[in-house]
Amino acid sequence: MRSVLRANGVAVPVRIVHARAAKEQRAVPVAAWTEAGALRFAGSFSEMEEELEGSTLSGWEGPDRVSSDRANAMIWPATALLGGRGRGGPRVSGL
């Protein structure tokens, strides 16, 4: 990812992360934050929302077993932003 951004002239900090749990398990707190209103989307992301709706703790149960790449890509930054709630971690309070 870092090399793709640099090749396109985008200078942003990149933190390399590695999953310690399956994406379905990582999505549980993100789903709870969304239901509680702590996480909202600015715009329409119908394909990602479809992926999120098809994700369960036992795996993907969406139509045609489509990949959940968009949902997974959203889970990482949401966890980074909201994962520190109550512990002084990074967060976004509004736009």
Phi-psi region for residue 9, left (φ > 0), alpha (ψ -120 to 50) or beta? left
pLDDT of residue 50: 81
Bridge partner list, 56: 59
Instruction: State how far the Cα of 90 lies from the Cα of 81, in Å rounded to an integer.
Output: 5
Check residue 88 and give its pLDDT: 46
The model's confidence at residue 86, banded by pLDDT at 50, 70 and 90, is very low
Contact between 53 and 62 under an 8 Å Cβ cutoff? The reply is yes
Q: What residue spans define the domains of the chain?
A: 19-95
* Token pair in block for residue 65: 């077993």
With beta carbons less than 8 A apart as the criterion, state whether 74 and 47 touch.
no
pLDDT tens figures, 28-63: 888 888 888 888 888 888 888 887 777 777 777 766
Q: How confident is the model at residue 7 (pLDDT cuts 50, 70, 90)?
A: very high
The band of 8, judged by pLDDT with boundaries at 50, 70 and 90, is very high
Write a three-state SS string for 49-86: HHHHHHEECCEECCHHHCCCHHHHHHHHHHHHHHCCCC
Residues 15-31 have pLDDT tens digits of 887 778 877 788 888 88
Q: What is the pLDDT of residue 66?
A: 60
